[in-house]
């Protein structure tokens, strides 16, 4: 049973949590690294523990690599399939933009094993992605484009009987880049509530889990984005097989298979834009639970009185590996590369300070936090991730607390005066914004008519701000506070929130957010998302780090490329629990 973490915090740990005012700032959220609580890591541990078996059920791929394939996943007494369609695509049509209409490959994660008729149905729809219509047996829809140069280099090398240059693989890190991974009911595909195990218990929109339907027993996909992460893991497997297959077709007897270690270092790329950013604002309780689990883990680890000799050794190894990973992390963007270079220098200094005395001393993980405290936020967050990494036993259970069946709630029975006090106490950051300044309201978020995707406009230059999406939480809370304070000047002190909202119904969302923040303290990003200085890419990095992505490669202030599953175990290595869980910030060689 999934639990809401806010209900079960240990008071000592609670006192040690970093305050939301420190954590929920965009600059810090944009400095996150993947941790062992990230969804990909949790999924692979679950696959390993659940003795998941992945096999290739259909391979109708021609010598050019075009055709269709099906991978079967047996997991937790259920069967799923990744259905892959590989298509010929002209270079001129290859674009990572969400407005693209054709891709090198398209995919569906399917509930069960598709028969011929189902395969044909998916083949008619999936290559068209958003223009197709899907059904309740389709769990995830995705597409990907080749990393053309690396793909061709690998095919050529393997066809000639040689392994490709390792440095090339380390630099690129993937054979294909997904440009969308759709789940949870999009375009008619299965609702998450329907397949997400018991997390939907008590949720009135949940499916009938008790009736013995095909959705029963899917505990493995109950955690957030587990189905999407599963699909991406299988897509990675497909890309590995595809490059071997084409090389074999081209090279004949001369051809060899890609070396296992090189293969492991090939993940899946992804291009992510603004579509992902509003999620963190529109799912405040879920955001709270993700952050609270992460912060609880960090508080718990900092409270450990000692580190075992094994942990100390592991910590040294992983700190060194992280340094190697930073050295391997190269991006074209100058500002981002400068940040990485600064971090490399900081991390080298941190590594030099990892003395036996420090690690043998009392509360070693708190001491490690102290080592990073005066350095950049990226360095601090990297230290957090490192310390969590060697404390799986203490924190891995928190992964079960990262879902939520609850949503933002209004309490109309609360006293209006209490609401005012709560607003002033918790939303000082919002009340301090001067919204009369043009820069403070420069951005407006909207949904584009062309692709039905979130976009960001400039209020002072572009039309459409009257239709903006309500992500302006700071501005709304400030307006609500002003109205409430004025109303309470003449209203009796025992007036209730319901009465305030009868007089000021336009402030209901703001009231709901403030009250929710009272029991979900990490539910709000404590920055003005309309401000000219707001960098949506920080929201993307936060969310993607929870997925487990690494090697962030920002291409502007509002989209980034990333790598997923780099260094992760291969499908036939999942049974090895150590391999399945030892791929944090991987380094080739």
Contact residue for other proteins among 50, 112, 185, 392 (CB under 8 A): 185
Identity of the residue, 218 or 455, whose beta carbon is nearer to other proteins in the bound complex: 455
If one asks whether residue 439 binds other proteins (CB under 8 A), the answer comes out as no
Binding segment (CB under 8 A) for other proteins, from list 12-20, 32-40, 219-227, 454-462: 454-462
Pattern 79-118, other proteins, x by CB under 8 A: ------------x--xxxxx-x------------------
If one asks whether residue 460 binds other proteins (CB under 8 A), the answer comes out as no
Using the Cα atoms of residue 210, residue 214, residue 218 and residue 221 in order, give the sign of their dihedral: negative
If one asks whether residue 556 binds other proteins (CB under 8 A), the answer comes out as yes
513 to 91, 278, 333, 410, 466: CA distances (angstroms)? 47, 15, 36, 8, 22
If one asks whether residue 491 binds other proteins (CB under 8 A), the answer comes out as no
Question: What is the nearest approach in angstroms of other proteins to the Cβ of residue 243?
Answer: 17
Contact residue for other proteins among 156, 320, 376, 448 (CB under 8 A): 448
If one asks whether residue 498 binds other proteins (CB under 8 A), the answer comes out as yes
510 to 61, 434, 488: CA distances (angstroms)? 54, 18, 17
Size of site (CB under 8 A) for other proteins: 78
Identity of the residue, 374 or 466, whose beta carbon is nearer to other proteins in the bound complex: 466
Identity of the residue, 189 or 343, whose beta carbon is nearer to other proteins in the bound complex: 189
If one asks whether residue 450 binds other proteins (CB under 8 A), the answer comes out as yes
Tokens of 81: 């399939």
Which of 181, 54, 185 shows the shortest CA–CA distance to 105? Answer: 181
Tokens of 481: 């506070």
Question: Is there a contact between 447 and 453 (Cβ–Cβ < 8 Å)?
Answer: yes
485-492 long-range contacts, CB within 8 A, separation 24+: 485/420, 487/416, 488/416, 488/417, 488/420, 491/416
Residue 462: partners with Cβ closer than 8 Å, 6 or more residues away: none
Query: Residue 508, class by beta-carbon neighbours within 10 Å (0-12 exposed, 13-18 middle, 19+ buried)?
Result: middle
Contact residue for other proteins among 259, 333, 499, 582 (CB under 8 A): 499
Contact residue for other proteins among 112, 464, 479, 518 (CB under 8 A): 464
123 to 56, 87, 98: CA distances (angstroms)? 18, 11, 20
Identity of the residue, 438 or 470, whose beta carbon is nearer to other proteins in the bound complex: 470
427-458 burial code (b ≥16 CB/10 A, e <16):
bebbeebebeeeebbbbbbbeeeeeebbbbbe
Interactions with other proteins, residue window 392-431 (CB under 8 A): 407-408, 410, 412-413
Identity of the residue, 242 or 585, whose beta carbon is nearer to other proteins in the bound complex: 242
Contact residue for other proteins among 81, 106, 145, 566 (CB under 8 A): 145
Question: What is the nearest approach in angstroms of other proteins to the Cβ of residue 468?
Answer: 8
Between vectors from CA 565 to CA 559 and to CA 570, what angle results, nearest 5°? 155
If one asks whether residue 191 binds other proteins (CB under 8 A), the answer comes out as yes
Quick one: which H or E segment has residue 179?
Answer: strand 174-182
Identity of the residue, 434 or 466, whose beta carbon is nearer to other proteins in the bound complex: 466
d(CA 28, CA 542): 9
Question: What is the nearest approach in angstroms of other proteins to the Cβ of residue 462?
Answer: 5
Pattern 505-544, other proteins, x by CB under 8 A: xx-xx--x--------------------------------
Using the Cα atoms of residue 347, residue 351, residue 352 and residue 353 in order, give the sign of their dihedral: positive
Binding segment (CB under 8 A) for other proteins, from list 307-315, 394-402, 496-504, 581-589: 496-504
**Three-state secondary structure call for residue 410:** coil
């Amino acid at each position: 049973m999934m639990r809401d973490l806010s209900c079960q915090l240990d008071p000592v740990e609670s006192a040690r949590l970093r305050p939301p005012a420190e954590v929920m700032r965009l600059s810090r959220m944009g400095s996150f690294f993947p941790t062992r609580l990230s969804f990909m890591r949790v999924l692979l541990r679950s696959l390993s523990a659940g003795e998941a078996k992945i096999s290739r059920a259909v391979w109708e791929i021609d010598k050019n690599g075009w055709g269709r394939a099906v991978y079967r996943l047996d997991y937790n007494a259920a069967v799923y399939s990744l259905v892959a369609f590989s298509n010929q695509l002209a270079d001129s049509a290859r674009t990572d933009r969400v407005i693209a209409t054709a891709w090198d490959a398209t995919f569906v994660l399917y509930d069960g094993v598709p028969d011929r008729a189902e395969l044909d149905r998916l083949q008619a729809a999936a290559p068209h992605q958003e223009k197709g219509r899907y059904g309740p047996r389709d769990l995830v829809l995705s597409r990907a484009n080749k990393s053309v140069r690396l793909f061709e280099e690998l095919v050529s090398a393997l066809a000639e009987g040689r392994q490709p240059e390792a440095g090339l693989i380390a630099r690129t890190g993937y054979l294909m880049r997904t440009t969308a991974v759709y789940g949870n009911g999009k375009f008619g595909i299965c609702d998450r509530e329907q397949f997400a195990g018991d997390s939907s218990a008590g949720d009135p929109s949940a499916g009938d889990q008790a009736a013995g339907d095909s959705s029963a027993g899917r505990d493995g996909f109950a955690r957030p984005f587990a189905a999407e992460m599963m699909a991406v893991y299988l897509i990675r497997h497909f890309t590995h097989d595809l490059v071997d297959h084409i090389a074999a077709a081209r090279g004949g007897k001369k051809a060899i298979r890609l070396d296992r270690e090189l293969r492991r270092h090939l993940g899946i790329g992804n291009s992510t834009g603004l579509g992902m950013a509003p999620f963190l604002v529109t799912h405040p309780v879920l955001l709270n639970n993700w952050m609270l689990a992460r912060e609880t883990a960090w508080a718990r680890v900092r409270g450990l009185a000692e580190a075992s000799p094994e942990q100390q050794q592991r910590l040294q190894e992983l700190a060194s590996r992280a340094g190697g990973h930073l050295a391997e992390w190269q991006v074209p963007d100058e500002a981002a590369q400068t940040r990485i270079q600064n971090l490399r220098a900081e991390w080298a200094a941190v590594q030099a300070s990892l003395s036996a005395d420090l690690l043998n001393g009392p509360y070693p993980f708190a001491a490690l936090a102290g080592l990073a405290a005066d350095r950049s936020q990226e360095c601090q967050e990297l230290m957090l991730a490192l310390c969590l990494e060697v404390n799986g036993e203490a924190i891995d259970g928190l992964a079960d607390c990262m879902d939520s069946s609850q949503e933002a709630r209004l309490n109309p029975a609360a006293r209006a005066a209490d609401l005012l006090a709560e607003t002033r106490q918790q939303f000082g950051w919002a009340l301090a914004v001067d919204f009369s300044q043009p820069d403070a309201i420069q951005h407006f978020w909207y949904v584009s008519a062309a692709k039905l995707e979130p976009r960001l406009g400039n209020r002072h230059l572009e039309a459409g701000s009257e239709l903006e999406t309500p992500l302006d939480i700071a501005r709304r809370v400030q307006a609500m506070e002003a109205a409430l304070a004025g109303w309470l000047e003449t209203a009796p002190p025992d007036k209730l929130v319901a009465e305030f909202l009868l007089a000021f119904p336009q402030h209901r969302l703001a009231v709901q957010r403030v009250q929710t923040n009272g029991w979900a303290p990490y539910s709000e990003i404590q920055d003005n998302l309309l401000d000219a200085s707001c960098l949506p890419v920080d929201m993307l990095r936060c969310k993607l780090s929870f997925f487990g992505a690494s090697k962030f490669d920002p291409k502007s202030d509002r989209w980034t490329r990333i790598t997923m599953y780099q260094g992760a175990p291969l499908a036939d290595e999942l049974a090895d629990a150590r391999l399945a869980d030892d791929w944090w910030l991987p380094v080739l060689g």
